[in-house]
Amino acid sequence: MAQPHILIVSYPAQGHINSSLQLANKLIKIGVEVTFATSHKLFCPAGW
């Protein structure tokens, strides 16, 4: 059987990313392949 593969897309804010990364790590530990995606827009200074 193929290994499960999950895509996690997180809102680009620290609280959302940290929680999503914790979930991703738990899934990886039980054998799930995880791809993590987010946007960088919120982290750029105003005016970029």
Measured CA to CA, the distance from residue 28 to residue 39 in angstroms comes to 22
> The domain containing residue 29 runs over which residues?
5-38
Give the distance from CA 7 to its chain's centroid: 8
Flag whether 24 is in a domain.
yes
Flag whether 43 is in a domain.
no
Span 3-48, pLDDT tens digits:
999 999 998 878 888 999 999 999 999 999 999 998 876 555 655 5
pLDDT given for residue 1 in this prediction: 76
Flag whether 47 is in a domain.
no
Flag whether 20 is in a domain.
yes
Flag whether 16 is in a domain.
yes
pLDDT given for residue 25 in this prediction: 97
Flag whether 12 is in a domain.
yes
Split into its structural domains, the chain has a count of 1
Active site residues: 16
Q: What's the predicted TM-score (pTM) here? A: 0.74
